[in-house]
Amino acid sequence: MRTEIRPADPVEAAPSGMARVVPGANNAERITRLFGLCIGFGYLGYLLLLSPSIAALMPYVASWWTPVTIVVVFGPGAVLAVVARRGSLATTRRVAAVAALSFFVGVITFPLAWNGVALPSAVGMWLAAFPGLASMAAVVAWPGVAAFVQMVVACVSVQVLEFVAHDGQRATALLPNICFAVMFCSLFVFGVMMSIRTGRILDETTDETHATAAAAAAVDARSVERERFDALIHDSVMSTLLAASRPGTTDVPALATGTLAELDEIRAGVETDRPFSLSRAVVHLRATAAAADAGARFAVAVDERGAGASDDPIPAEAVRAVGAAVAEALRNSLRHAGKDAHRAVEGTVGPSSIEVAVTDDGAGFDPSSVSARRLGIAVSIRGRMDRLPGGSARIESVPGSGTTVRLDWERP
Protein backbone atom coordinates (compact mmCIF):
# COMPACT_ATOMS: atom_id res chain seq x y z
CA MET A 1 0.00 0.00 0.00
CA ARG A 2 1.32 3.40 -0.92
CA THR A 3 0.32 6.55 0.85
CA GLU A 4 1.34 10.00 -0.29
CA ILE A 5 3.18 11.94 2.42
CA ARG A 6 3.43 15.66 1.90
CA PRO A 7 6.25 17.63 3.51
CA ALA A 8 5.13 19.52 6.54
CA ASP A 9 5.41 23.30 6.75
CA PRO A 10 7.33 25.00 9.52
CA VAL A 11 4.91 26.11 12.21
CA GLU A 12 4.68 28.55 15.01
CA ALA A 13 2.87 27.19 18.01
CA ALA A 14 -0.15 28.10 20.07
CA PRO A 15 -0.72 26.62 23.51
CA SER A 16 -4.38 25.85 22.88
CA GLY A 17 -3.85 24.23 19.54
CA MET A 18 -3.76 27.20 17.22
CA ALA A 19 -0.72 27.96 15.05
CA ARG A 20 0.26 29.66 11.87
CA VAL A 21 2.48 28.55 9.02
CA VAL A 22 5.76 30.32 8.55
CA PRO A 23 6.98 30.48 4.93
CA GLY A 24 10.13 28.52 4.50
CA ALA A 25 13.30 30.56 3.96
CA ASN A 26 17.08 30.43 4.34
CA ASN A 27 17.41 32.74 7.32
CA ALA A 28 21.22 32.73 7.43
CA GLU A 29 21.38 33.75 3.78
CA ARG A 30 18.79 36.48 4.25
CA ILE A 31 20.66 37.91 7.26
CA THR A 32 23.99 37.71 5.43
CA ARG A 33 22.55 39.59 2.46
CA LEU A 34 21.04 42.20 4.75
CA PHE A 35 24.38 42.87 6.44
CA GLY A 36 26.10 42.96 3.05
CA LEU A 37 23.64 45.63 1.94
CA CYS A 38 24.12 47.65 5.14
CA ILE A 39 27.91 47.39 4.94
CA GLY A 40 27.86 48.51 1.32
CA PHE A 41 25.85 51.60 2.18
CA GLY A 42 28.17 52.10 5.16
CA TYR A 43 31.13 52.42 2.80
CA LEU A 44 29.30 55.08 0.78
CA GLY A 45 28.36 56.91 3.97
CA TYR A 46 31.93 56.92 5.25
CA LEU A 47 33.17 58.22 1.91
CA LEU A 48 30.91 61.24 2.27
CA LEU A 49 31.66 61.78 5.96
CA LEU A 50 35.42 61.47 5.52
CA SER A 51 35.66 63.77 2.49
CA PRO A 52 37.09 66.68 4.58
CA SER A 53 39.67 64.38 6.19
CA ILE A 54 40.62 62.91 2.81
CA ALA A 55 41.16 66.40 1.40
CA ALA A 56 43.20 67.46 4.45
CA LEU A 57 45.57 64.51 4.08
CA MET A 58 46.22 64.97 0.36
CA PRO A 59 49.12 67.49 0.76
CA TYR A 60 51.09 64.92 2.78
CA VAL A 61 50.89 62.01 0.33
CA ALA A 62 51.74 61.41 -3.30
CA SER A 63 49.14 62.62 -5.80
CA TRP A 64 48.34 59.09 -6.98
CA TRP A 65 47.60 57.64 -3.53
CA THR A 66 44.31 59.35 -2.67
CA PRO A 67 42.35 58.55 -5.88
CA VAL A 68 43.75 55.02 -6.06
CA THR A 69 42.97 54.32 -2.41
CA ILE A 70 39.45 55.71 -2.70
CA VAL A 71 38.71 53.44 -5.66
CA VAL A 72 40.38 50.36 -4.18
CA VAL A 73 39.00 50.72 -0.64
CA PHE A 74 35.52 52.13 -1.26
CA GLY A 75 34.84 50.57 -4.67
CA PRO A 76 34.29 46.96 -3.47
CA GLY A 77 32.12 48.27 -0.64
CA ALA A 78 29.85 50.08 -3.10
CA VAL A 79 29.68 46.98 -5.29
CA LEU A 80 28.78 44.92 -2.21
CA ALA A 81 25.59 46.95 -1.74
CA VAL A 82 24.47 46.00 -5.26
CA VAL A 83 25.57 42.37 -5.19
CA ALA A 84 23.99 41.68 -1.80
CA ARG A 85 20.67 42.80 -3.25
CA ARG A 86 20.81 41.20 -6.68
CA GLY A 87 23.62 38.63 -6.83
CA SER A 88 24.07 35.16 -5.46
CA LEU A 89 25.21 34.49 -1.92
CA ALA A 90 28.54 33.14 -3.16
CA THR A 91 29.15 36.32 -5.16
CA THR A 92 28.19 38.44 -2.15
CA ARG A 93 30.77 36.66 -0.01
CA ARG A 94 33.47 37.02 -2.65
CA VAL A 95 32.87 40.76 -2.99
CA ALA A 96 32.82 41.09 0.82
CA ALA A 97 36.18 39.31 0.95
CA VAL A 98 37.59 41.76 -1.59
CA ALA A 99 36.27 44.68 0.49
CA ALA A 100 37.87 43.25 3.65
CA LEU A 101 41.25 42.75 1.95
CA SER A 102 41.32 45.94 -0.13
CA PHE A 103 41.34 47.95 3.10
CA PHE A 104 44.92 46.78 3.60
CA VAL A 105 45.93 48.14 0.19
CA GLY A 106 45.58 51.67 1.55
CA VAL A 107 47.39 50.70 4.76
CA ILE A 108 50.33 49.06 2.95
CA THR A 109 50.75 51.79 0.33
CA PHE A 110 50.54 54.74 2.74
CA PRO A 111 54.20 54.54 3.84
CA LEU A 112 55.21 54.55 0.15
CA ALA A 113 53.06 57.59 -0.63
CA TRP A 114 53.73 59.59 2.53
CA ASN A 115 56.16 62.49 2.01
CA GLY A 116 57.65 62.15 5.50
CA VAL A 117 56.24 65.40 6.86
CA ALA A 118 54.66 64.79 10.28
CA LEU A 119 50.91 65.23 10.28
CA PRO A 120 49.57 67.98 12.53
CA SER A 121 47.06 66.99 15.16
CA ALA A 122 44.20 68.48 13.11
CA VAL A 123 44.91 66.10 10.21
CA GLY A 124 43.87 62.52 10.79
CA MET A 125 44.73 59.25 9.09
CA TRP A 126 41.26 58.72 7.62
CA LEU A 127 41.73 54.96 7.18
CA ALA A 128 41.78 54.72 10.98
CA ALA A 129 38.13 55.85 11.09
CA PHE A 130 36.53 52.62 9.81
CA PRO A 131 38.60 49.43 10.23
CA GLY A 132 35.54 47.87 11.88
CA LEU A 133 33.48 48.29 8.71
CA ALA A 134 36.05 46.30 6.72
CA SER A 135 36.01 43.68 9.48
CA MET A 136 32.22 43.43 9.28
CA ALA A 137 32.66 42.68 5.58
CA ALA A 138 35.12 39.98 6.63
CA VAL A 139 32.40 38.39 8.79
CA VAL A 140 30.13 38.20 5.76
CA ALA A 141 32.92 36.56 3.74
CA TRP A 142 34.73 34.25 6.15
CA PRO A 143 34.34 32.17 9.30
CA GLY A 144 34.42 34.02 12.61
CA VAL A 145 38.06 33.28 13.51
CA ALA A 146 39.37 34.62 10.20
CA ALA A 147 37.22 37.73 10.51
CA PHE A 148 38.47 38.34 14.05
CA VAL A 149 42.09 38.06 12.92
CA GLN A 150 41.38 40.52 10.10
CA MET A 151 39.87 42.96 12.60
CA VAL A 152 42.85 42.81 14.98
CA VAL A 153 45.37 43.25 12.14
CA ALA A 154 43.39 46.15 10.68
CA CYS A 155 43.06 47.95 14.01
CA VAL A 156 46.73 47.48 14.92
CA SER A 157 48.02 48.57 11.50
CA VAL A 158 46.01 51.80 11.27
CA GLN A 159 46.88 52.78 14.83
CA VAL A 160 50.55 52.21 14.13
CA LEU A 161 50.29 54.43 11.04
CA GLU A 162 48.54 57.08 13.13
CA PHE A 163 51.36 56.93 15.69
CA VAL A 164 54.16 57.08 13.13
CA ALA A 165 52.69 59.80 10.92
CA HIS A 166 51.74 62.28 13.65
CA ASP A 167 54.19 64.63 15.28
CA GLY A 168 54.66 64.51 19.02
CA GLN A 169 52.77 61.29 19.69
CA ARG A 170 53.64 59.62 22.98
CA ALA A 171 54.61 55.98 22.77
CA THR A 172 52.60 55.20 25.88
CA ALA A 173 49.40 56.12 24.03
CA LEU A 174 49.84 53.53 21.26
CA LEU A 175 48.77 50.45 23.21
CA PRO A 176 45.66 52.07 24.76
CA ASN A 177 44.63 53.34 21.31
CA ILE A 178 45.02 49.86 19.84
CA CYS A 179 43.03 48.27 22.66
CA PHE A 180 40.25 50.83 22.34
CA ALA A 181 40.05 50.34 18.57
CA VAL A 182 39.89 46.54 18.92
CA MET A 183 37.26 46.67 21.65
CA PHE A 184 35.14 49.23 19.83
CA CYS A 185 35.18 47.30 16.55
CA SER A 186 34.52 44.03 18.36
CA LEU A 187 31.06 45.22 19.36
CA PHE A 188 29.97 45.47 15.75
CA VAL A 189 31.93 42.50 14.44
CA PHE A 190 30.63 40.13 17.12
CA GLY A 191 27.12 41.49 16.60
CA VAL A 192 27.25 40.49 12.93
CA MET A 193 28.75 37.10 13.85
CA MET A 194 26.00 36.33 16.34
CA SER A 195 23.25 37.45 13.98
CA ILE A 196 24.45 35.19 11.16
CA ARG A 197 25.01 32.35 13.63
CA THR A 198 21.45 32.78 14.91
CA GLY A 199 20.18 32.52 11.35
CA ARG A 200 22.10 29.26 10.87
CA ILE A 201 20.68 27.85 14.12
CA LEU A 202 17.19 28.82 13.03
CA ASP A 203 17.73 27.09 9.68
CA GLU A 204 18.98 23.94 11.39
CA THR A 205 16.02 23.99 13.75
CA THR A 206 13.64 24.42 10.83
CA ASP A 207 15.24 21.48 9.00
CA GLU A 208 14.90 19.34 12.11
CA THR A 209 11.27 20.40 12.41
CA HIS A 210 10.67 19.41 8.78
CA ALA A 211 12.29 16.03 9.35
CA THR A 212 10.27 15.46 12.51
CA ALA A 213 7.06 16.47 10.77
CA ALA A 214 7.83 14.14 7.86
CA ALA A 215 8.47 11.29 10.28
CA ALA A 216 5.23 12.07 12.09
CA ALA A 217 3.39 12.11 8.78
CA ALA A 218 4.80 8.70 7.96
CA VAL A 219 3.65 7.39 11.34
CA ASP A 220 0.21 8.88 10.76
CA ALA A 221 0.07 7.24 7.34
CA ARG A 222 0.90 3.85 8.83
CA SER A 223 -1.67 4.43 11.56
CA VAL A 224 -4.32 5.19 8.95
CA GLU A 225 -3.51 1.91 7.20
CA ARG A 226 -3.72 0.02 10.48
CA GLU A 227 -7.00 1.74 11.25
CA ARG A 228 -8.28 0.78 7.81
CA PHE A 229 -7.46 -2.85 8.48
CA ASP A 230 -8.87 -2.73 12.02
CA ALA A 231 -12.07 -1.17 10.73
CA LEU A 232 -12.30 -3.86 8.06
CA ILE A 233 -11.95 -6.58 10.69
CA HIS A 234 -14.47 -4.99 13.03
CA ASP A 235 -17.08 -3.76 10.57
CA SER A 236 -16.81 -6.30 7.77
CA VAL A 237 -15.26 -9.56 8.93
CA MET A 238 -16.97 -9.65 12.30
CA SER A 239 -20.23 -8.40 10.82
CA THR A 240 -20.13 -11.19 8.25
CA LEU A 241 -19.42 -13.82 10.90
CA LEU A 242 -22.17 -12.42 13.13
CA ALA A 243 -24.64 -12.48 10.24
CA ALA A 244 -23.66 -16.04 9.41
CA SER A 245 -24.33 -17.10 12.99
CA ARG A 246 -27.94 -15.92 12.82
CA PRO A 247 -30.51 -18.35 11.40
CA GLY A 248 -32.29 -17.24 8.27
CA THR A 249 -29.83 -14.55 7.26
CA THR A 250 -29.78 -14.12 3.47
CA ASP A 251 -27.17 -11.40 2.93
CA VAL A 252 -24.16 -13.43 4.07
CA PRO A 253 -22.88 -14.06 0.50
CA ALA A 254 -22.95 -10.37 -0.33
CA LEU A 255 -21.25 -9.42 2.92
CA ALA A 256 -18.62 -12.09 2.46
CA THR A 257 -17.96 -11.04 -1.14
CA GLY A 258 -17.45 -7.42 -0.15
CA THR A 259 -15.19 -8.34 2.76
CA LEU A 260 -13.06 -10.64 0.60
CA ALA A 261 -12.76 -7.90 -2.03
CA GLU A 262 -11.44 -5.44 0.57
CA LEU A 263 -8.99 -8.03 1.90
CA ASP A 264 -7.76 -8.65 -1.66
CA GLU A 265 -7.23 -4.91 -2.12
CA ILE A 266 -5.10 -4.74 1.02
CA ARG A 267 -3.05 -7.77 -0.04
CA ALA A 268 -2.60 -6.39 -3.57
CA GLY A 269 -1.56 -2.94 -2.31
CA VAL A 270 -4.41 -1.03 -3.90
CA GLU A 271 -3.98 2.74 -3.62
CA THR A 272 -5.61 4.15 -0.50
CA ASP A 273 -7.00 7.09 -2.44
CA ARG A 274 -9.89 4.96 -3.71
CA PRO A 275 -13.16 6.88 -3.14
CA PHE A 276 -15.19 6.05 -0.05
CA SER A 277 -18.79 5.02 0.06
CA LEU A 278 -20.88 6.84 2.67
CA SER A 279 -20.79 3.92 5.09
CA ARG A 280 -17.05 3.40 4.65
CA ALA A 281 -16.52 7.12 5.25
CA VAL A 282 -18.32 6.89 8.59
CA VAL A 283 -16.30 3.80 9.49
CA HIS A 284 -13.06 5.63 8.70
CA LEU A 285 -14.07 8.63 10.82
CA ARG A 286 -15.01 6.32 13.69
CA ALA A 287 -11.67 4.52 13.46
CA THR A 288 -9.58 7.70 13.45
CA ALA A 289 -11.59 9.18 16.34
CA ALA A 290 -11.28 6.00 18.40
CA ALA A 291 -7.54 5.87 17.79
CA ALA A 292 -7.17 9.41 19.17
CA ASP A 293 -9.63 9.08 22.07
CA ALA A 294 -11.44 5.82 22.67
CA GLY A 295 -13.63 7.47 25.29
CA ALA A 296 -15.09 10.15 23.05
CA ARG A 297 -18.77 9.78 22.12
CA PHE A 298 -19.15 9.17 18.37
CA ALA A 299 -22.39 10.17 16.64
CA VAL A 300 -21.63 10.64 12.97
CA ALA A 301 -24.17 9.09 10.62
CA VAL A 302 -25.09 8.93 6.95
CA ASP A 303 -27.28 11.83 5.87
CA GLU A 304 -30.65 10.22 5.24
CA ARG A 305 -31.63 13.01 2.89
CA GLY A 306 -28.92 11.81 0.57
CA ALA A 307 -29.86 8.16 0.72
CA GLY A 308 -30.88 8.14 -2.90
CA ALA A 309 -27.33 9.05 -3.86
CA SER A 310 -25.63 6.73 -1.40
CA ASP A 311 -23.66 5.09 -4.18
CA ASP A 312 -22.05 8.40 -5.15
CA PRO A 313 -18.52 7.98 -3.73
CA ILE A 314 -16.76 10.62 -1.63
CA PRO A 315 -13.15 11.49 -2.58
CA ALA A 316 -10.66 9.74 -0.33
CA GLU A 317 -8.78 13.01 0.10
CA ALA A 318 -11.83 14.59 1.74
CA VAL A 319 -12.55 11.68 4.07
CA ARG A 320 -8.94 11.27 5.16
CA ALA A 321 -8.43 15.02 5.67
CA VAL A 322 -11.54 15.29 7.86
CA GLY A 323 -10.55 12.12 9.74
CA ALA A 324 -7.04 13.42 10.44
CA ALA A 325 -8.45 16.79 11.56
CA VAL A 326 -10.91 15.03 13.90
CA ALA A 327 -8.08 13.00 15.43
CA GLU A 328 -5.92 16.10 15.94
CA ALA A 329 -8.80 18.01 17.53
CA LEU A 330 -9.37 15.15 19.97
CA ARG A 331 -5.69 14.88 20.81
CA ASN A 332 -5.49 18.63 21.39
CA SER A 333 -8.54 18.45 23.66
CA LEU A 334 -6.95 15.64 25.65
CA ARG A 335 -3.88 17.84 26.21
CA HIS A 336 -5.58 21.11 27.06
CA ALA A 337 -9.26 20.70 27.98
CA GLY A 338 -8.66 19.14 31.41
CA LYS A 339 -8.81 15.64 32.82
CA ASP A 340 -12.55 15.82 33.60
CA ALA A 341 -13.60 17.05 30.17
CA HIS A 342 -15.97 14.99 28.01
CA ARG A 343 -15.52 14.85 24.26
CA ALA A 344 -17.93 14.11 21.44
CA VAL A 345 -17.73 13.77 17.66
CA GLU A 346 -21.03 14.54 15.97
CA GLY A 347 -22.12 15.17 12.43
CA THR A 348 -23.34 13.77 9.15
CA VAL A 349 -21.78 12.35 6.00
CA GLY A 350 -23.65 12.90 2.75
CA PRO A 351 -22.87 12.27 -0.92
CA SER A 352 -21.80 15.89 -1.47
CA SER A 353 -20.83 17.13 2.00
CA ILE A 354 -19.33 16.21 5.34
CA GLU A 355 -20.17 18.13 8.50
CA VAL A 356 -18.43 17.14 11.73
CA ALA A 357 -18.13 18.94 15.06
CA VAL A 358 -15.61 17.93 17.73
CA THR A 359 -16.71 19.35 21.07
CA ASP A 360 -15.56 19.28 24.67
CA ASP A 361 -16.81 20.85 27.90
CA GLY A 362 -13.32 21.59 29.18
CA ALA A 363 -11.35 24.68 30.10
CA GLY A 364 -11.68 26.48 26.78
CA PHE A 365 -9.50 29.45 25.79
CA ASP A 366 -9.58 32.89 24.25
CA PRO A 367 -8.46 32.49 20.60
CA SER A 368 -7.42 36.16 20.39
CA SER A 369 -4.93 35.79 23.27
CA VAL A 370 -3.04 32.85 21.82
CA SER A 371 0.67 33.45 21.28
CA ALA A 372 1.93 32.93 17.74
CA ARG A 373 5.09 31.29 19.11
CA ARG A 374 3.52 28.02 20.27
CA LEU A 375 2.75 24.80 18.38
CA GLY A 376 -0.88 23.77 18.02
CA ILE A 377 -3.58 22.55 15.67
CA ALA A 378 -3.66 25.28 13.05
CA VAL A 379 -1.48 23.35 10.60
CA SER A 380 -3.06 19.95 11.27
CA ILE A 381 -6.64 21.24 11.27
CA ARG A 382 -6.96 24.64 9.62
CA GLY A 383 -4.08 24.19 7.22
CA ARG A 384 -5.19 20.69 6.21
CA MET A 385 -8.82 21.72 5.69
CA ASP A 386 -7.85 24.91 3.85
CA ARG A 387 -5.77 22.86 1.42
CA LEU A 388 -8.69 20.51 0.81
CA PRO A 389 -10.86 21.76 -2.11
CA GLY A 390 -14.21 22.67 -0.57
CA GLY A 391 -12.90 22.23 2.98
CA SER A 392 -13.08 24.63 5.89
CA ALA A 393 -12.51 24.63 9.65
CA ARG A 394 -13.69 26.90 12.47
CA ILE A 395 -12.56 26.92 16.08
CA GLU A 396 -15.01 28.29 18.65
CA SER A 397 -14.00 28.57 22.28
CA VAL A 398 -14.65 30.66 25.38
CA PRO A 399 -12.64 30.37 28.61
CA GLY A 400 -14.50 28.04 30.96
CA SER A 401 -17.09 27.04 28.36
CA GLY A 402 -15.38 24.38 26.30
CA THR A 403 -14.24 24.26 22.70
CA THR A 404 -15.88 23.31 19.41
CA VAL A 405 -13.96 22.51 16.24
CA ARG A 406 -16.24 22.51 13.20
CA LEU A 407 -15.04 20.70 10.08
CA ASP A 408 -16.95 21.04 6.81
CA TRP A 409 -16.46 19.77 3.30
CA GLU A 410 -18.64 20.42 0.28
CA ARG A 411 -18.10 18.81 -3.10
CA PRO A 412 -16.70 21.51 -5.41
d(CA 129, CA 54): 11
Q: Which helix (H) or strand (E) is 406 found in, with range?
A: strand 403-410
pLDDT of residue 374: 46
Is residue 234 one of the residues assigned to a domain?
no
Is residue 230 one of the residues assigned to a domain?
no
Q: How many other CB atoms sit within 10 Å of the CB of residue 317?
A: 16
d(CA 350, CA 278): 7
Is residue 235 one of the residues assigned to a domain?
no
Q: How far is CA 138 from CA 74, 148, 293, in A?
A: 14, 8, 57
- Please provide the distance, in angstroms rounded to a whole number, between the alpha carbons at the two ends of the chain: 28
Pairing mode of beta strands 343-349, 297-302: parallel
Residues 164 and 50 in one domain: yes
Residues 40 and 153 in one domain: yes
List the chain residues with pLDDT less than 50: 1-24, 307-310, 372-376
Is residue 16 one of the residues assigned to a domain?
no
Instruction: Look at residues 264, 255, 251 and name the one whose alpha carbon lies nearest to residue 236.
Output: 255
* Domain end residue (candidates: 163, 180, 206): 206
Q: How many other CB atoms sit within 10 Å of the CB of residue 65?
A: 18
Residues 35 and 150 in one domain: yes
For 286-324, what is each residue's pLDDT tens digit? 888 887 788 899 998 888 665 444 456 889 889 988 988
For 131-151, what is each residue's pLDDT tens digit? 999 999 999 999 999 999 999
For 202-231, give the DSSP string: HHHHHHHHHHHHHHHHHHHHHHHHHHHHHH
Is residue 18 one of the residues assigned to a domain?
no
Is residue 238 one of the residues assigned to a domain?
no
pLDDT of residue 196: 94
State the total domains in the chain: 2
pLDDT of residue 250: 57
Q: Yes or no: say if 127 and 105 are a contact pair by the CB < 8 Å rule.
A: no
Domain of residue 165, residue span? 27-206
Which CB contacts under 8 angstroms, 24+ apart, belong to 310-315?
310/277, 310/278, 310/279, 310/351, 311/277, 312/351, 312/352, 313/275, 313/276, 313/277, 314/275, 314/276, 314/277, 314/278, 314/281, 314/349, 314/351, 314/354, 314/411, 315/275, 315/276
Residues 192 and 46 in one domain: yes
d(CA 293, CA 136): 56
